[in-house]
Amino acid sequence: MSKDYRSRMERRQSSDASKPANKTKTKKPRRRNWKKTLLLLAVVLGLLGLLTIGAIAATSPKLDPKKLETPVSSKIMDMNDKEVSLVSGSEKRIRVKINEIPEPVQNAFIATEDVRFRQHSGVDVRRIFGAAFANVTEGFGAEGASTISQQVIKNTILTDEKSLTRKIREAYLSVQLEQKYSKDQILEMYLNKIYFGKGAYGIATAAKVYFNKDVSELELQEAALLAGLPKAPSYYDPTVNPKESEHRRNVVLNLMAQHKFITKEDAEKAKSIPVKDMIVEGEVKTESRPYDAYIKQVMDDLKDIEGLEEADVYSSGLKIYTNLDTNAQQATEDVLEAKLESEHEFLQSGVALVDTKSGAIRAVGSGRGGELSNYFSSKITRQPGSTIKPILDYGPAIENKQWSTAHILKDEPVELGDITINNFNDRNVGDITMRQALVESKNTTAVRAFQDVGPEEATDFANKLGFDLDPDTTYPSYAIGGFEGGISPLTLAGSYTAFGNGGVYSKPTTIRKVEFPDGRTIEVDSEPKAAMKDYTAYMITDMLKDVMDRGTGTEANVSGLNLAGKTGTTNFSKEDRDKYGLPDGATKDAWMAGYTPTYTAAVWTGYAEMKDKEGNGLYLNENEADYSKQIFRDIMSQLDHKNTDFKKPKSVTEVALEKGTGKRASEFTPDSEKIIELFVKRIRSSWH
């Protein structure tokens, strides 16, 4: 044995001797390969995902060239499930080839809807990831990822169900669409199908309707305006809402500049042209549909229904079951036409008619002649005048302080800093009951009631009735309708229903349910909520019946009906009076709101413009200021009321008082000297 070998052996033995003895040999544990496990899991999940996507894609409907060319009309059903109108179908259309549409017009839509339309193959992967990020950070639905190709598929082949299955089929069919049709053919399909409002389907029809031009003659600012309309045709209608339309047009121009379709200078030049100067309504106008104003309200309400966010209701073959009362709608349109036909062209009126019990919108009146809309019934924001007094003043006082209808208030001018609030006729009577103050529409007592209750409780009461008021910015002037902004007839009608329905409020809606071609339905529940105590609703109603019988609402009363209601007017500010040369006390808005146990209506009348074409200021004269009351009366008198009375709840008690003294009447008090007042039963009442 060599010396080197012995040395190695000795070293090994020496090393082994230094280790502790182990009788049992232990096996070294193997480390798991987590990377391989995760990779395997990812592969399995990926395969399962691909199999699922493949299965869904395999069950997709086939591309139907006929459907791609022809939209499927949606149907409007009335309250009795009778079909009353098609949303599309019989409307006039001008079809146009893609080579007849100027490139800047095409680019306006591409920049707005699908900026990489010319590059992708039906699905925009970059946009999908961008939308996914937005939906994670801002909530699902924050941003969509549909390309123009996907929109064509969604609106013609598939239903509008918001689900992963539908999205997979939409993407799969969009890729197929791009394989079978050219980009120009797909864009042509899109531009000939979309709805632009005012009955105009397709870009060529819209060009004629809004600008009286052939599509080949459209200028940049006109193309941008049209590209902005499909998002919300009614809201961005330039003939009704020019301010909103101009803002949307400018968004489109900015997008075109951002994506290098036009220069920034071109965008600024186009933005400098006011929308009002652009519109020249053309010869091609669709025939007015039956109940057109109501249907436009339906279109607006559809946008608020969960599950219909991405639906093209104009071409999806939906059945839309509404609350339309055709008799009430026809009566509303007839009354407005008869009242406004021979009046100044800028004089307008808006009507909202709602079912008192359910909040169902039965009729909508707005506009005049062949241009019926829902603008003056549900979109205007005008100061409500004295119609607000039950909502912000006396209602909250009864609700929170249990005032009786005989509660005494001071009818004296109210000093608010350097402003003095007095009654419309500057007359004061001193002490007056709440009932009589409401009957005579006293301003001083209304402000005092508001101050006594406080803005917190007053706005809380109003907001439960469909308002959106901030107590920090709700000032005493609001107590008599002096809003910074205003409200619409629909908001006012909805709030008054709760007084006639025992204190229960249901948000007004035109829609009951929506049925898809595949049988799937979306039910619409208005969710009735208790907005006030039943005693508040009944006591306000009882006082408002007196308003109709012997107060400011007598001209609106209908013999034989149990009607409760309130009038309201507003005046111009001194600044506007001076600017337009208006007399002191000139009336700006006239209101009438009221209800029976069956129907609730709110009517507004006023001028759509501040001055006429010659520059003269416009205001309601003495006769015109009464039109709201007359319209209310004429509509209510034609409706089928159940003619029941409002039921007194157990929480309210009637007490006979002596007229003029406020003391409880005795057995010796003549009936002619008695007046019946209402008290909340659970609160001990005191009399002088």
> What is the C-alpha to C-alpha distance for residues 604 and 625, in angstroms, rounded to an integer?
10
Which member of 85, 91, 113, 495 is catalytic?
113
Bridge partners of 85, per DSSP, are 76
Please, what is the angle between helix 103-113 and helix 242-258, to 10°?
Answer: 90
Q: Of 247, 218, 311, whose CA–CA distance to 522 is shortest?
A: 311
- Kindly give the pairing relationship between strand 75-77 and strand 319-322: parallel
Q: Of 239, 241, 236, whose CA–CA distance to 251 is shortest?
A: 236
> What is the C-alpha to C-alpha distance for residues 112 and 191, in angstroms, rounded to an integer?
13
Q: Are 435 and 398 in contact (CB under 8 A)?
A: no
Q: Are 240 and 248 in contact (CB under 8 A)?
A: no
Which residue is associated with the tokens 């012995």?
A: 6
The Cα-based distances of 300 to 101, 295, 303, 369 in angstroms read 30, 9, 6, 21
> What is the C-alpha to C-alpha distance for residues 319 and 519, in angstroms, rounded to an integer?
10
Please, what is the angle between helix 326-340 and helix 292-302, to 10°?
Answer: 120
Quote the tokens at residue 161: 């169900």
> What is the C-alpha to C-alpha distance for residues 536 and 586, in angstroms, rounded to an integer?
34
Q: Are 406 and 435 in contact (CB under 8 A)?
A: yes
> What is the C-alpha to C-alpha distance for residues 525 and 528, in angstroms, rounded to an integer?
9
> What is the C-alpha to C-alpha distance for residues 236 and 229, in angstroms, rounded to an integer?
6
Q: Are 544 and 594 in contact (CB under 8 A)?
A: yes
Q: Of 144, 194, 147, whose CA–CA distance to 171 is shortest?
A: 147
In terms of residues, how long is the chain? 688
Those residues with Cβ within 8 angstroms of residue 207's Cβ, 6 or more apart along the chain or in another chain: 213, 214, 215, 217, 218, 222, 226
> What is the C-alpha to C-alpha distance for residues 292 and 199, in angstroms, rounded to an integer?
10
Indicate the SS3 state at residue 46.
helix
DSSP H or E stretch at residue 40: helix 34-58
Please, what is the angle between helix 489-500 and helix 534-550, to 10°?
Answer: 110
> What is the C-alpha to C-alpha distance for residues 428 and 424, in angstroms, rounded to an integer?
10
Judging by beta carbons within 10 Å of its beta carbon (0-12, 13-18, 19+), is residue 320 exposed, middle or buried?
Answer: buried
Whether 113 is a known active-site residue: answer: yes
Q: Are 604 and 619 in contact (CB under 8 A)?
A: no
Which member of 73, 315, 349, 386 is catalytic?
386
> What is the C-alpha to C-alpha distance for residues 251 and 584, in angstroms, rounded to an integer?
42
Whether 163 is a known active-site residue: answer: no
Residue 124 phi/psi, 5° resolution?
-95, 100
User: Which amino acid would we find at residue 667?
Assistant: E
Q: Are 366 and 373 in contact (CB under 8 A)?
A: yes
User: Which amino acid would we find at residue 560?
Assistant: G
Those residues with Cβ within 8 angstroms of residue 478's Cβ, 6 or more apart along the chain or in another chain: 388, 392, 450, 469
Cα 2 from chain centroid (whole Å)? 102
Bridge partners of 566, per DSSP, are 593
Angle at 94 between CA 91 and CA 96, to 5 degrees: 145
Indicate the SS3 state at residue 324.
coil
> What is the C-alpha to C-alpha distance for residues 280 and 201, in angstroms, rounded to an integer?
18
Give the active site residues: 113, 386
